[in-house]
Each structure stands twice: as structure tokens, then as C-alpha cells.
Chain A
Amino acid sequence: MLEARGLRAGYGAAPAIRDVSLDVGQGDLVVVVGPNGAGKTTLINAIAGLHRIESGRLVFSGTNISDLPPHRFCDQGIALVPEGRRLFTGMSVRENLELGAYGSAAKPHRAQAMQRVLALFPMLGAKLRALAGTLSGGQQQMLAIGRALMARPRLLLLDEPSLGLAPTIVIEMFRIIREVNQDGVAVLLVEQNVAMALQLARRAYVLEEGRIVAQGSPQELASQPDIQRAYLGH
């Protein structure tokens, strides 16, 4: 469904990602792990249309989206849960969710999508009127995921969703992501928390200094020394 070939993006002479190729199939759950500074956020932002792709190809469901303007990515079926949530903090929870379904493809189904999202995240239902900025970290993360789901994506992108969250909340969140995936939404997740990520994934890539250095199933990767070396140095 998603094919990235030879992606290169970043700032100036030293690109953050170089020659990255990966695939996400329909209904797949793919994880990209790597240490800080490896280029994970640039990669996810490039796939979401937030970051300009300098060279390489990005194809989604047969359509070449490499040169599409940012606001057209959503209608293609790609939704992003960005690093740091980036909610519209001055707007209410309800308004944040409604904005998720702003795109022309998602708007007709907004009421339905809202029902589904509130069923997934009941605690948001109690706080619909609250300003997004007043929620706790965990609640904000749930809202960010909910907002993305309002767009009825076929591919959900998540950038380090566990950052700054307590372990119990992370477990709950990953459970929800698994549930969403089982409903048929493909998921591409970028994470620093390797253990959780590998438990969740069907396939994983290891990103180090802007390049893919390993890929495979979680079992295959866990037995390889790549990850341990990348993170712990030995």
C-alpha cells in the first residue's frame, strides 16, 4: 500500500534521512526503531507530507504522492499523530476532533467517526468542552490519536507516542493501536521504546544515522546484535 523508495530529506548539506526504502502493506503494523537523532521524525513527517522530500519516491495505493501539497495528504487516506502531540491547545477537545474530519473525504462521515472515537476513548467524552491544553499528557496523546482517527485513514502514522507517558498509559495506548489495526487500518509507528514496539509489530525496521540498517520480524531482530549495539553501545 505504501511504498517508499530511496527517500532523502533533511536540512541542507547533511540530510536527516538518506536512501530510505520501506513498505507498509494493507492492514500491516510496521515499526521503525532507532536511537535519538536517527531521523525517525523526519521520516514520518516526510511520509505525512509535512516535510519536503528532496529525492526518492513515495507511492500510496498506486498514486505517486511525492510532490503532493501538504493539505492533500489527508484525503489520500494518511493521518498523522505527530511527536509532541501538536494539538490545537486553544481549542476544545470536540473542536480538535472535528478538525480531524475536516478533509473532504472524511467530513460526510464525521458524526459516525466521532461515535467510534468516543467509544475507543471514553474519557474524552467526559471532557469534550475542555480546552485541549488543559488535559494531562496521557489524555492529550489519546486525543491526538482520536483526532487522526477522525480522518478515517487507511494508514495511521505515529511518531514516538510513548514519549513522556507513564508505563501503564503506554500499555493502554498500544492496546488501542492494536485494536485500530485489527479494524483494518495500517499502522506505521516510530518509537524509541524498543520493547513495547517490538511486541506490537509484525515487521520492524532499524533506523540509524538516517539509514535503514536492519529489517525483519521482531523475533529476527531481537536476536540480532544490531539493536543492542545501536542503543547500548555493546
Chain B
Amino acid sequence: MKPVAAFVLVGAALAVAPFLGLPAFYESFLYLVFSWVVLATSWNLLSGYAGYFSFGHAAFFGAGVYATAVLGGKLGWSLLATLPLAAGVPALLGVTLGAVIFRVRALRGELFAVLTLAVTFVVSTIVLNTPIDGGPGVMLSAVSIPKLAPSPSGTFYLMALILALISVYISYRVYHSRFGTGLFAIHDDEEVAEVMGVPTYRFKLGAFALSCALAGLAGGIHGVFVSYVTVAETFGHWLALYVILMAAIGGTRHWLGPALGAALVTTLLYAFTASEHALGGRAVVGLVLILVILFLPQGLLGRFSRRAAFPRKELIPPDASIAVANKERLLVIRGASKAFKGVQALAGVDLEVRRGEILGLVGPNGSGKSTLINVVSGHYPLDGGSIVFEGREIAGEAPHRIASGGIARTYQIPRPFAHLSVLENVALPPMFGRVAMDRGRAESEAWRWLEFTNLSGKAGRLPAELNLHERKFLELARALASRPKLLFLDEVLSGMTPSEMDEAIRLVRAIREQGATIVFVEHVMRAVMELTDRVVVLTNGRTIAEGVPREVMRNPQVIDAYLGAAHA
């Protein structure tokens, strides 16, 4: 059954309740459950999926409450008329904040949490002290609501139900989409996601805007439900923390997790309140939060949060349009220099890569090889010099643009996305690379590269379950999946047994036959000798020799750099 149909069915089943003479108390209780479902699910879009834990959800809920309060309570609009602004104002607030905050690399993790907490206090103070509220609160009992059900409480039930269904559906769709994959990648390793082509800034802003809009809608409706809003009640600290609790219990990596958590926690709280043990109830909620974080950090649905792979479709034949070796200059680096805290990692490197060749990049430890790769792929900005790729200057470009231009790299110490399966890891670059594909096509593409690297048997596993050699091949498959024109392999062979190495060498040759140009950074000399057409030697951040492998490695300067004068 198609997902939309399932949601509509569930919705229809639940929507019948108000017409069956359900007591108002239950309608109100279920309204609250649905409202918390919206809040927890909307929070999870940014904070659960992308890992940016916000402690300020109350700010956006409150912005929605007060948008409706001002328009409805003070200016007489009907509830439905206020809803677009109840969504729009918080979204605008969120986007404005995000535009500034997400630019600053250091403001992640706990700092983002504290910052969003501060935002709530600021917003609430402003609302309290300006004519928006001013102090006495706002009466909303006169705001007209649509007549969807026999009673007002029934109407609120239905409105909250519809909003909850929409929120959970959005959560579901994002979860299965390219957008969602990008968000999960950001969660696991934002830098690598950026280098693989995910437009991290835009995606974070998008998730944030969506999250704030939904929270605002819940707020607008809630304001009229309680019919009298005050700053203290609206921006209370507990809202921010309850949504975290709900999402954590249900599972932040699953689309239904927050909804499940919301239902459980709301029921638990009200069971206690009803039995006059409200205090005890709150203490139990605190205890549950602690137990969940310590023992069940993935939440109840955590185990089920692996997205089912799309069925295997027809494999896409190799792209014949990638040109074969023609000696044209693909990448030209001139005078590249880069320093870190006083250490000059690159001191004016000159290097050329010709289309279709396998270029070996060698040099003693600390000579600058990894830094060079990092600089070309956009991890670090260049201090000086230029990098021209296919005639275009790329020094200073955003990493994800460089990636979509056709440059890919592997990491010396593999950095797979820990919570994405092997298949999803490899499917990510095709989704965001040069030829941006949707999830289905990207996964087919991924299968191809998994077969190429002999990993198809482990497609559904998590990277942690692979051994080192398999993880290196995963790095390789992931880099290849974006069909790069230029591929940087950073010490792919280190740590491998001789037979694993033979397999890897075979693979690298096959990659070149597919039309990619390869820069091969290695310490294992026999592989360098076997594979490379040309070799460039780096020492102390400079190029000291270049040419055919056999000649270069007999060059006295090179021998000196590696072994010292004793062996020359």
C-alpha cells in the first residue's frame, strides 16, 4: 500500500472519534497527545536527523502562539486566517537565526544547544515587554474557529490530528528522501558530507525552517485551545526539554520515534496528574530520561531505524563520455602554500595531473601529501597559490561545489558515516555529486560499485561491522560512486596484507580503465612502482622530483629524503 494511502486511512479512522460521542475530556487529552506529536516530530527534523540539538523549540512554538494571539486576539482574525503567519513568523525567525549560526563552524553540539536556550529567553523577554503581550497575557476566547466537529473540543481534536498527520508524514518523507540522507550524513560527519557534495548550509536551514513552521502552527492552535496565553506559560522551560525527552525515548533517528515518545510521555504524565501524583509523575519522567540516555540511547525505535534499501534495478552501464587518456592537463597546481599554527605544511607546491594517468604522490612522513589532498578537495583554504581544474580556478570554492565539479577523495583513516549502512554510504555521493540522482537511481549506482569492490555481501551492514581492509574498500567505493573525473587515493593500501593489496592494485587499474584520472598517495613502494605512470616526490612541503617511477626512485635526492645519506 502506498504510504500516502496508509496515512489517510489512519487519519480517517482517528477522525471518526469526535462524531461518536467521545467525552470532551478524552477529546482534549488526545488533542494534547497530537499537539505534542507535532512538537516532538518537528523538533526531530533538525535536531534528531541532523544532530543539531536545539534547546529553544519553545521560542518557535511561542512565536506561533503570539502570532495568532496578536492577529486573532487583538485584531480579530479567525484562527484559520492566522495560521499562515503562525507558521511563517517562526520559520522566518528560525531562518534568520540559522543564517548566522550555521555559518560559524564552531557553533555545534553543546554550544548550539546553549545558544538556542538563550534565544528562548530573549524572545520571551521581548514578547513580555512589548505591546505583543506587555504583561497581562492575551485573551483568545473570542477567536473564531472553524466548525469541523459537533463540539469545540472535537474541532481542536481534528485540527491537531490533521497537523499531527502532516508532521509525521513530512517526517516520513524526509526520512526516505535525498534531503533526509543528507541530514543524516551531516549528523555523522558534517565535514565529510560537505566534501561529498551535500549542501550542508542549505539543508540545515531547510530543516530548521520546516521545524519552526510546524512548531508555530501547533502554537497558534494551542493558543486558541487554552484561550488565554501568558509569556510564562508559553515559553516555559519544560517544553524544550519534554520534546527532547519524547524524541529520545521514541528514537531520534526514526521518523515515527518522536510521535511514539510523545504519546507515551503525555499518557504517562497525565496518568500521574489524574491520580494526584503529579509531582511523582514529573520525577518519574526525569528518571525515564536518565535511563533512556544511559541504557537506550537509540530510543525504542532505534533498532528499526535502518531505511530499507530500494529494490535493485537495472544497473546503469558505464559512462562512456568520460574521455580516455589524452595527456591534457586536468589539474594544475602552482605555488600552493598552507601553514598551520606555524608549521609550513605546503611551501609552494607545483604539480600537474594529466588526464587519464595514474600519478603517484610520494614523500616521507610529514611532507605535505595529505595536506595537499585536503586543500584540493576544499577541506582547508589555501594560503597562497592557485589550483586550476579543467581550466577553472577552484581554490577557495566550497567543498561541495568542488565535489560536484568531479573531484573525489578517500581518507587515510576511513571516515564512513557511522549510522548509515554500507549501501547508503556509497549511495550518497551519486545523490549529491556531479550527476545528482534521486535515491533509487543512486542506490542502483551504489550496487555497481559495491560489486566492483566485492562488498555487495555487506551492503546492509553498518561500517563498524567491517574490518579495516573492507572499510578502506568502502572508502574507495564511496569515492568512485560519484563518477569523478579526478580521484585522490590517500594511503589506501596501508594496513593491508599482501593479498589484499594485490586485490586493491587490480581495482585501481580497473578504475583507470573506466576513465578516471587517479592521484595515488602511497608509502607502499612496490604498489607505486607497479601502478603509476608518473611519480611526484614531496619533501617538506615542496616538490623535489618528478618523472617515471623507476628513475625517480633512484634519484639520489629522493633516496636521501627517505633514508638519509647513509643509503645513497
Determine direct contact between A and B, CB below 8 Å. yes
Chain A residues proximal to chain B, CB less than 8 Å: 11-14, 16, 35-37, 136-137, 160, 163-164, 192-196, 198-199, 209, 222, 227-229, 231-234
Count the A-B residue pairs with Cβ separation under 8 angstroms: how many?
A: 73
Cβ A37 vs Cβ B563 within 8 A: no
A141 to B564, CA, bound (A): 20
A227 to B526, CA, bound (A): 13
The 12 listed contacts between A and B (C-beta, < 8 Å) are A35-B524, A36-B365, A160-B365, A194-B562, A194-B567, A209-B497, A222-B566, A222-B567, A227-B563, A229-B525, A233-B524, A233-B528
Q: How far is the CB of A149 from chain B (nearest CB, A)?
A: 24
Cβ B564 vs Cβ A194 within 8 A: yes
Residues of chain B with a CB closer than 8 A to A228's CB: 563, 567
Cβ B469 vs Cβ A14 within 8 A: yes
A13 to B491, CA, bound (A): 20
Chain B residues proximal to chain A, CB less than 8 Å: 342-343, 364-366, 467-469, 491, 494-495, 497, 523-529, 553, 559, 562-567
Cβ B564 vs Cβ A196 within 8 A: yes
Residue of B nearest to A13 (CB): B467
Residues of chain B with a CB closer than 8 A to A196's CB: 564
Cβ B529 vs Cβ A233 within 8 A: yes
A204 to B506, CA, bound (A): 35
Closest CB pairs A-B (n = 10):
A195-B564, A233-B525, A37-B494, A195-B566, A14-B468, A13-B467, A233-B526, A36-B523, A194-B563, A164-B366
Cβ A234 vs Cβ B365 within 8 A: no
Cβ A193 vs Cβ B564 within 8 A: yes
A227 to B342, CA, bound (A): 33
Q: How far is the CB of B501 from chain A (nearest CB, A)?
A: 10
Residues of chain A with a CB closer than 8 A to B469's CB: 14
Residues of chain A with a CB closer than 8 A to B566's CB: 194-195, 198-199, 222
Cβ B565 vs Cβ A195 within 8 A: yes
A11 to B466, CA, bound (A): 12
Residues of chain A with a CB closer than 8 A to B562's CB: 194, 231-232
A36 to B495, CA, bound (A): 10
Q: A227-B563, A231-B525, A232-B525 are in contact. List 10 more A-B contacts (CB 8 A).
A: A194-B564, A195-B565, A195-B567, A198-B566, A222-B567, A227-B567, A228-B567, A231-B563, A232-B553, A233-B527
Cβ A36 vs Cβ B529 within 8 A: no
Cβ A232 vs Cβ B467 within 8 A: no
Q: Which of B494, B524, B525, B567 contacts A234 (CB 8 A)?
A: B525
A192 to B497, CA, bound (A): 21
Cβ A136 vs Cβ B467 within 8 A: no
Q: How far is the CB of A160 from chain B (nearest CB, A)?
A: 7
Residue of B nearest to A160 (CB): B365
Residues of chain A with a CB closer than 8 A to B524's CB: 35, 233
Residues of chain B with a CB closer than 8 A to A11's CB: 468
A13 to B563, CA, bound (A): 32
Cβ B528 vs Cβ A14 within 8 A: no
Cβ B468 vs Cβ A232 within 8 A: no
- A164/B468 contact (C-beta < 8 A), A195-B566, A233-B524 known: no
- A37/B523 contact (C-beta < 8 A), A164-B343, A232-B562 known: yes
Q: How far is the CB of B210 from chain A (nearest CB, A)?
A: 39
Cβ B523 vs Cβ A195 within 8 A: no
Residues of chain A with a CB closer than 8 A to B527's CB: 233
- A35/B523 contact (C-beta < 8 A), A12-B467, A12-B468, A14-B495 known: yes
Cβ B342 vs Cβ A14 within 8 A: no
Residues of chain A with a CB closer than 8 A to B364's CB: 192-193
Residue of B nearest to A136 (CB): B342
A35 to B365, CA, bound (A): 9
Residue of A nearest to B500 (CB): A14
Q: How far is the CB of A159 from chain B (nearest CB, A)?
A: 12
Residue of B nearest to A163 (CB): B366
A24 to B469, CA, bound (A): 33
Residue of B nearest to A137 (CB): B343
Candidate in B494, B525, B526 with the most chain A CB atoms within 10 angstroms: B525
Residue of A nearest to B493 (CB): A37
A160 to B468, CA, bound (A): 24
Q: How far is the CB of A135 from chain B (nearest CB, A)?
A: 9
Candidate in A163, A164, A233 with the most chain B CB atoms within 10 angstroms: A233
A175 to B4, CA, bound (A): 76
Residues of chain A with a CB closer than 8 A to B559's CB: 232
- A195/B563 contact (C-beta < 8 A), A36-B365, A232-B553 known: yes
A16 to B495, CA, bound (A): 8
A69 to B75, CA, bound (A): 71
Q: How far is the CB of B462 from chain A (nearest CB, A)?
A: 13
Residues of chain B with a CB closer than 8 A to A229's CB: 525
Cβ A234 vs Cβ B468 within 8 A: no
Residues of chain B with a CB closer than 8 A to A36's CB: 365, 491, 494, 523
Q: How far is the CB of A19 from chain B (nearest CB, A)?
A: 14
Residues of chain A with a CB closer than 8 A to B567's CB: 194-195, 222, 227-228
Q: How far is the CB of B455 from chain A (nearest CB, A)?
A: 16
Residue of A nearest to B412 (CB): A37
Residue of A nearest to B469 (CB): A14
- A13/B468 contact (C-beta < 8 A), A136-B342, A192-B364, A195-B564 known: yes
Q: How far is the CB of B489 from chain A (nearest CB, A)?
A: 14
Residues of chain B with a CB closer than 8 A to A195's CB: 563-567
Residues of chain A with a CB closer than 8 A to B523's CB: 35-37
Residue of B nearest to A222 (CB): B566
Cβ B525 vs Cβ A192 within 8 A: no
- A234/B343 contact (C-beta < 8 A), A14-B467, A36-B365, A209-B497 known: no
A180 to B234, CA, bound (A): 70
Q: How far is the CB of B549 from chain A (nearest CB, A)?
A: 9
Q: How far is the CB of B183 from chain A (nearest CB, A)?
A: 28
A222 to B564, CA, bound (A): 12
Residues of chain B with a CB closer than 8 A to A234's CB: 525-526, 529, 553
Cβ A192 vs Cβ B365 within 8 A: yes
